Amino acid sequence: MTPNMIDVLPAIDIRGGRCVRLVQGDYDRETVFDDDPIAPARRWIDEGAEMLHVIDLDGAREGRAANAEFVEQIAALGKPVQVGGGIRNLDTVQRYLEAGVTRIIVGTAAVTDRDFLREAVELSGDAITVSVDAKGGRVALNGWTEASELPAVALIPQLENLGVRRFIYTDIASDGMLGGHDEAEFSRVAGVARSPVIAAGGIAHPMQIRRLAANGAAGVVLGRALYDGRLKLSDAFEAAEAGIRERTC
């Protein structure tokens, strides 16, 4: 990513081998969008996506790579992929790197297993991206099923000291709600980071993307709004470019 670009990342969330979306990370509030998760990956690539955001929802809850075969098939399509969900050991990191995955997203283990995080950074360097998933500014764990008392703004500097150089900040309360990302909280989080921070959760309108880009977001993850047809990927690209122009003025 250059200073004049941000990542516009269509999300592919996989549960039980299908492409789904959850509401606020609630596994009981699921919408199935495709029985084959490879199909939306091809669609977003055909529409111009330069990178895909793939989450193994089963893996996030179970602590293992439960849908790795689908991740590998998506990586084989030839576009960069960032993958998260259940990545809590070096064998999984190595497997995904060998499959051609560009970025490895670590979530829960970044909080609970700092030794693993250090080793993962040593193994794969800038490929490691930490997902800071928070509600009310507090970090959530294990597929968002467990709350912690750790503030997101405290976590990021700690992890940068361990060598992490990229973050995703997910606003859980907004995720799947189509009401917009909590831009004020994102600004607080991005403000303490020395590294790029990608925004995720509730982003549904080009103007939201434009504001986030203008205010320093390194990327945006787009989910339900794309699948519902409320947001076109082409409009997201245009909004991101407009935001970057405002940032550099």
Catalytic residues: 13, 133
- Given a contact cutoff of 8 angstroms between Cβ atoms, the answer to whether 222 and 201 are in contact is no
- Cα angle for residues 140, 28, 226 (degrees, 5° grid): 80
Instruction: Find out whether 26 and 220 touch, Cβ atoms under 8 Å.
Output: no
User: Torsion angle of alpha carbons 16, 17, 23, 26, nearest 10°?
Assistant: 20
Q: Strand pairing partners for 140?
A: 147
CA 10-156-245 angle, to 5 degrees, is: 50
Tally of CA atoms within 13 A in the half-sphere of 190 that contains its CB: 23
Give 226's DSSP letter.
H
Which one, of 242, 241, 246, lies nearest residue 7 by Cα? 241
Instruction: For residue 127, give the DSSP letter.
Output: G
Q: Tell how strand 103-106 and strand 18-23 pair up.
A: unpaired
